[in-house]
């Protein structure tokens, strides 16, 4: 058992590396926390401390809440809310894919979190499914990178984050990231709804990308209602199909039951 000052207990290391992550406990408030520790004598440690100190008051539901920080002569520790046990990549592997409506809702919330980073002068570097977890209320949470870790790509630029959101949206809906066609262009999967295609194409374009994350988020928000309607109609169609299947199955089941009964009686008489 390791103690960080008199207030925090470090119970189990959950991630090694230049920035270690620990499950811990706030002894004063008796609540679980995540503790991230880095060596400030390294370049990464200095960068993480600078980012965390600059972003400590930045509040967004998709960014980790920083509760506290502790500095020593050699180490810097960040205390945050407890991390969810599963990430979005694991959820995707289990489910196969998300509906377009669900995917866009996730991307909008993650995008708003990234936009708040951009506004503060920082960038993530390229968000991926394993960088994101869903809280119990289904709010997406960026658990890797700023404000409590190093950027995933150096130098980290807002344009990296914008293109990564396009890939993430495609991945959640289709189950795979976009491919490259024979002409070297990004190929959007045909199952992507038509209203979403131009948004993703622009996000992934090298020639005419979105100018900033806010513009792309507005574009995603403009199609939410349409995607919700499509999801509702798909649900009705599926329910109708299942009902028709039950209608066809009932007489067949009756015939099979009668046949089994007749055979059983015949065997009994024999």
Q: How far does the chain reach from its first CA to its final CA, in angstroms?
A: 76
pLDDT in tens, 11-29: 999 999 899 999 999 999 9
Q: What is this structure's pTM?
A: 0.82
Cis preceding linkage at 41, omega within 30: no
Cα 34 to the center of its chain, rounded Å: 19
Inter-residue contact 9 to 3 (CB < 8 Å)? yes
Query: Is pLDDT at 242 greater than 50 in this prediction?
Result: no
Residue-level pLDDT at 241: 43
pLDDT in tens, 192-212: 999 999 999 999 988 878 889
Burial 23-34 (b: 16+ CB within 10 A, else e): bbbbeeeeeebb
Query: Is pLDDT at 112 greater than 90 in this prediction?
Result: yes
Q: Which residues contact 137 (CB under 8 A, 6 or more apart)?
A: none
Query: Is pLDDT at 133 greater than 90 in this prediction?
Result: yes
């Amino acid at each position: 058992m390791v103690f960080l000052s008199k207030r925090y207990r470090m119970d189990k290391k959950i991630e090694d590396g230049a920035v270690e992550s620990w499950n811990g406990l706030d002894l004063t408030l008796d609540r679980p926390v995540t503790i991230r520790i880095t060596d400030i004598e390294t370049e990464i440690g200095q960068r993480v401390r600078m980012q965390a100190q600059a972003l400590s008051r930045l509040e967004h539901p998709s960014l980790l809440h920083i509760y506290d920080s502790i500095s020593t002569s050699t180490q810097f520790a960040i205390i945050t809310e407890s991390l969810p046990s599963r990430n979005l990549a694991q959820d995707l592997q289990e489910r196969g894919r998300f509906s377009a409506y669900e995917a866009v809702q996730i991307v909008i919330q993650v995008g708003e979190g990234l936009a708040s980073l951009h506004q503060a002068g920082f960038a993530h570097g390229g968000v991926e499914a394993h960088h994101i977890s869903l809280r119990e209320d289904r709010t997406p949470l960026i658990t890797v990178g700023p404000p409590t870790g190093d950027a995933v790509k150096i130098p980290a630029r807002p344009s990296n984050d914008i293109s990564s959101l396009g890939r993430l949206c495609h991945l959640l809906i289709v189950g795979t990231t976009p491919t490259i066609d024979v002409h070297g262009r990004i190929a959007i999967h045909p199952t992507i709804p038509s209203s979403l295609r131009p948004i993703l194409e622009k996000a992934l374009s090298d020639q005419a990308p979105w100018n900033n994350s806010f513009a792309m988020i507005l574009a995603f928000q403009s199609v939410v209602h349409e995607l919700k309607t499509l999801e509702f109609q798909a649900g009705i169609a599926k329910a109708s199909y299942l009902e028709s299947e039950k209608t066809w199955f009932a007489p067949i089941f009756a015939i099979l039951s009668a046949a089994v009964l007749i055979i059983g009686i015949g065997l009994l008489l024999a």
